[in-house]
Structure formats: structure tokens, C-alpha cells
């Protein structure tokens, strides 16, 4: 059986997808989760703001776990970057709840996404370090700094790909080789 915290997070996510963040009340969440408002306040003493922040963090963690599952068995830095960027872009574009809230309430979501993207960037940098350390880097390139740079660039391109079509494997490959890894690897 799912614990109360998870049921509350799932319910908040579902309600936000249906009505948006601003119109989702704790009463809606309680009804959707099948718990009392008192249970919500016991689980999240900070009330609605804490529930919303925890739901955003939970959704980002689910996204990251999906990304890691997608990358199982990938061995090269180039492949990790290519497959990871394509997966992440597709997930964001096809994410109905995120797209709805970005259209209707970006002012509520953007500050939370900024905080979560910083955490996500740090996680990506840590994850990439294993691959960067196994890559033949140009002399003088620090693997930790390279991992941080790559994580920042990946998050940036996923959010705003510019001229690159992140659904096209050839373009993503060109992006990775021409812009992300140029000057870092031999």
C-alpha cells in the first residue's frame, strides 16, 4: 500500500494537472488522496506551499529516475549526452502537467523549477563525472569542471534548444560533438 506522503504527492500532481497549481486546494488534494486535511498538515506542517514544493521535487526526482533508467547500459560520454538530451527534451515536451502549468501559471512554477534545476544540474554533473573521467580529455581539462560545464549546457539546451532539433538524432549528435565536447575531448 502507498504511504500517505506519496498519496498526497500523487494527488497534488493530479489536481495540478486538472486545475492548475493556483486552483488546487488542500481540500482537493485530501479528497483525491483519500486522506484528511489533518493528515496533510501532519505530513506537511508547512501547509499548501510545502505540499506544492514537495510535489515539484517529487516530479523532478521521478523524471531523473526515468532518465537514469533510459541510460542503463550506455557506456560512452557522447552516447550518454545524446540519449539523455533526447529523452529529457521529449519528456518535457510531452509532459502534460508541466506544459499546462507553464502555459497557465508560469509565475508560480518557474521559481520552483529554477531551484529544482539547480539540484538537477548538480546531480547530472555528478552522474556525468563517471563518464568524463573515462574520456580522453584534452590536456589541462579538469574532469569535475568539465562535468559541471556539460551539466549546465545540457540543462540549458533541454530548456531552450535554439536552432537544434532535439528530436533529430543527427542534429543532437552534431550538437554534442560540435558544441558540448569541442575543446574538451581529443
Quick check: is 62 in a domain?
no
The β-bridge partners of 137 are 185
Instruction: Work out the average pLDDT over 169-185.
Output: 97
Domain that holds residue 178: 71-186
State the Cα–Cα distance between residues 181 and 186, nearest whole angstrom. 9
C-alpha torsion sign, points 177, 123, 153, 171: positive
Is the domain of 158 the same as that of 81?
Answer: yes
The total number of structural domains in the chain stands at 2
Q: What is the pLDDT of residues 9-24, one digit of tens each?
A: 999 999 988 888 888 9
Is the domain of 34 the same as that of 102?
Answer: no
Instruction: Please state, rounded to an integer, the average pLDDT across all residues of the chain.
Output: 90
Amino acid at each position: 500500500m502507498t504511504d500517505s506522503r506519496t498519496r498526497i504527492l500523487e494527488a497534488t500532481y493530479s489536481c495540478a494537472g486538472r486545475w492548475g497549481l493556483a486552483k488546487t486546494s488542500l481540500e482537493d488534494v485530501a479528497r483525491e488522496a483519500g486522506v484528511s486535511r489533518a493528515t496533510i498538515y501532519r505530513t506537511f506542517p508547512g501547509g499548501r506551499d510545502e505540499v506544492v514544493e514537495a510535489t515539484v521535487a517529487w516530479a523532478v526526482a521521478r523524471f531523473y529516475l526515468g532518465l537514469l533508467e533510459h541510460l542503463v547500459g550506455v557506456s560512452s560520454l557522447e552516447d550518454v549526452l545524446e540519449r539523455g538530451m533526447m529523452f529529457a527534451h521529449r519528456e518535457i515536451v510531452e509532459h502534460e502537467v508541466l506544459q499546462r502549468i507553464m502555459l497557465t501559471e508560469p509565475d508560480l512554477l518557474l521559481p520552483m523549477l529554477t531551484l529544482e534545476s539547480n539540484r538537477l544540474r548538480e546531480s547530472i554533473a555528478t552522474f556525468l563525472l563517471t563518464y568524463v573521467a573515462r574520456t580522453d580529455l584534452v590536456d589541462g581539462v579538469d574532469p569535475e569542471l568539465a562535468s559541471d560545464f556539460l551539466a549546465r549546457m545540457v540543462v540549458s539546451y533541454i530548456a531552450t534548444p535554439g536552432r537544434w532539433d532535439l528530436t533529430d538524432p543527427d542534429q543532437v549528435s552534431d550538437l554534442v560533438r560540435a558544441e558540448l565536447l569541442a575543446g574538451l575531448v581529443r
